[in-house]
A and B are shown apart, each in its own frame.
Chain A
Amino acid sequence: MSLKTSSENSSFLKGLFREYYFKDSNSLVTPSMIEKREFGYMSFDSIMVRHLSFRNKRELIARLVQESPSDVYCSNGYYKFPTNSVQSKEWEGADLIFDIDLKDLNMPCSSEHSFYVCDQCGACNVSFLNACTVCLGRKISRTTIPCRKCLISLKKETQRLIEFLHGDLGIADGSIEIFFSGNAGYHIHVPDSEFKTLDSRARSDLVDYICGNGIMNESIGVRKSKNGFYIKFPKSGMVFGWRRRVASEFGINQSSISKLKRIVESSGGYGQFKEDLSTKAKLIGVRIDPHVTTDIHRIFRMPGTINGKSSLLKVKSTNLETFNPLDSACVLDDRQVYIRSKVNLKLYLHENYFRIKNSIERLPAYAAAYMICKGLADFIK
């Protein structure tokens, strides 16, 4: 949890999270080869604990109930010695993982449901300020409540990624696991596949493929010459992968030499076309967080654990089309508690709509926890 929380807030959330790990430990999705993974967690005091290892799910649950952390992480990598320092863990492989985050989608509606919370005193504003109006603190965090449009866009982006993984990379649908991150995104896992031994550099190339980075004119047949350019389509054709995507975008095929020539000329020649092609490719590409996929030593939010930024669960989606994260990921208790909200807000959670006012509110614990984790409310005993 990044925003500053009072000890009352922490103690309320800690109690709720502990209860969840105690009662609903079956929701925890432990990874394959659990004994080879590195685990870590973030406490409610913002202390990161890493290099942990568990022999089985029972051991892990016992630790979670005991510590009741804000966030729980597990490595995508498998190691011979998971508790050693990174240099001496002896890496054996890593699951392929992808992160689609709302912040990377640059949604136009973002400002309508974003708030700015002072890290120092917790005061909240609806518009961005350089300094807090209450305590003059300069560390301001942005928090967002994803709206319906945001959640739909996230799904669409995830679906586009799945098309790349399935159609281009040949990864079977059954080998792709889709999780709602618990906050504002989706995590896509491809566990224990033939991609597992790829190093960071190879994964970086894969990221560029998915994002549409580094496409060359030559790969679609536009070649540089002394006098400008000429067209010669590649021998391996234009029907697969990015060549197919670009061909379809420009309405060309292997025999459209003169059409492509006209397109390049109207672009302004080889150099300008290169820029246009690069821009187009980035629009066609999927907006994933490159660092997540290329980092083979990352500890990543563990499926079935609570996200301290929202109090929602990182939960698996078996049917993305019908999946509603705000229902499926909302797993905390529904007993009534009091909070002091800092904002006016309409909130949908767990099949219920809440019209929250900037005052003291009585809410189910799951909605109260959501508001507190977002930094938009304080718990009242």
Chain B
Amino acid sequence: MNSIGLAIKLGPTDLAKYPFLEEASEYIRETRFAIEELDRPEMDHILRRSVDILETEISAGKVYTNLDKYEIEILSFLVTLIMIKSIDLEPVTKKHSLLEAMRTEKFLTEDLFKEKSLQKKKLLLHKIFQELFEIDIHFDLDLTIFRLSVPDYLMRASKMNEQEWKLINRSVHSGYVYIDTDEAVRLIRSELSNLIYDRIKTMKIPVVPERVKICAEELRKKFSIYCTYRKHHIVSDYPPCIKHAIEMMNTGENLPHSARVMLATYMLTIGKNTDEIVTMFQNSPDYNEKVTRYQIEHLAGNKGSRIKYSVPSCKRLLSEDLCFATVDCENILNPIQFGRKKANTQ
């Protein structure tokens, strides 16, 4: 979409909903806000709001949906990021990034549904989809259907677990995929989450204001209990691809779908039961016990298609960038042979 012709600008309410946009940073610069000002008592309500946001997200695991005035929203967004940086707990950073992305998803879906002005809708698409993520997305004639290129769609949808996201279940024509408003917004969740995560990680704060430090320290103590990862013992006989996946799980990384399938099918094949495998996935930022259990039972052939899935071959894992072969992997075709080969040589 071409930016030429977008005569209107984002308003204050937009900045309140999308405080990660460049225009919001510009607002902070224009108001000459200095980080030290957070030590002033009149900034207490901003600090309290940031604490509230983090309590809702980390302790309750919910999206913070309250929407305040844009000045408050923009400052709260900034202060929350500073607090997370000071709390310095990786799971908190990841969880906040994900829930903040889901918050944006909610506002953006509503805006694209309810907004009457076509120009305004186009502007939102341009600002969020194209400027942030370089996705060329267009409205279709009736303004409720969007179209984006097949590669842009596949790059994102192939990371979704649900079958409805498969390209075959979409309306596809002449290089474009046609999707609804909520689907278009859902597609960028993971990129939004990464954007916020990167903002936190790259943020440089020379001196954290004392009041922020105090709040952050209290939250750190509180959140530590949620952040004690259940460390799964890495059996030395696991093949390196499985070890790597477990290590990633242990640090709360969001494993891609293919890595989860590999880990679950491997564990099923070596005889672990569903409960044991479900607990392995507890550290995932998007962990949902019910969904995880269903998926494992599905892979085991006890649910859904009743097809028992095998461990993907080494060749397949290599093509999916999940192979971390060592010399011990020589001459094996499937990770499951790794243990057997070792046992045979002992």
Contacts and interface: CB of A to CB of B under 8 A. Distances in A.
Contacts of A195: 150-151
A297 B318 contact: yes
Contact of B166 (A168, A169, A199, A208): A208
Given A215-B169, A216-B169, A167 B158 contact: no
B168 interface: yes
Contact of A205 (B154, B176, B315): B154
B172 A168 contact: yes
Interface string A222-256: 00000000000011110111110000000000000
Contact of A213 (B168, B176, B179, B258): B168
Given A200-B321, A201-B320, A208 B168 contact: yes
A240 B168 contact: no
A249 B227 CA distance: 54
Contacts of B168: 208-209, 212-215, 219, 241-242, 281
B16 to A, nearest CB: 30
A291 B316 CA distance: 8
Given A199-B321, A205-B158, A240-B173, A235 B167 contact: no
B189 to A, nearest CB: 17
Q: Looking at B172, B174, B318, B325, which has the most chain A CB atoms within 10 Å of its CB?
A: B172
Contacts of A34: none
A331 interface: no
Main secondary structure of the interface of B (DSSP, over half): mixed
A168 B176 CA distance: 8
Interface residues of A, number: 44
B163 interface: yes
B163 A216 contact: yes
Nearest to B325: A87
B169 to A, nearest CB: 4
B257 interface: yes
Contacts of B175: 168-171
B155 A205 contact: no
Given A170-B176, A294-B319, A297-B318, A214 B166 contact: yes
A218 B258 contact: no
A328 interface: no
B301 interface: no
Contacts of B324: 87
Interface string B132-147: 0000000000001100
Interface in A158-216: 167-171, 194-195, 197-206, 208-209, 212-216
Contacts of B257: 201
B151 A198 contact: yes
A295 interface: yes
B303 interface: no
B258 A206 contact: no
A219 B164 contact: yes
B324 to A, nearest CB: 8
A296 interface: yes
Residue in A198, A201, A203 with the greatest tally of chain B CB atoms within 10 Å: A201
Interface in B287-346: 315-316, 318-321, 323-325
Given A170-B175, A200-B321, A241-B172, A218 B164 contact: yes
Contact of A86 (B155, B158, B163, B318): B318
B154 A237 contact: no
B180 A202 contact: no
A201 B256 contact: yes
Contacts of A168: 150, 172-175
Contacts of B169: 214-216, 218-219, 242
Given A169-B150, A236-B178, A202 B170 contact: no
A365 to B, nearest CB: 37
Nearest to B152: A194
A221 B163 CA distance: 15
Given A168-B175, A170-B173, A236-B170, 5 more contacts: A170-B176, A216-B164, A219-B170, A234-B171, A235-B180
13 contacts: A167-B173, A167-B174, A168-B150, A169-B175, A170-B150, A170-B173, A198-B151, A200-B320, A208-B168, A235-B145, A237-B171, A237-B178, A291-B316
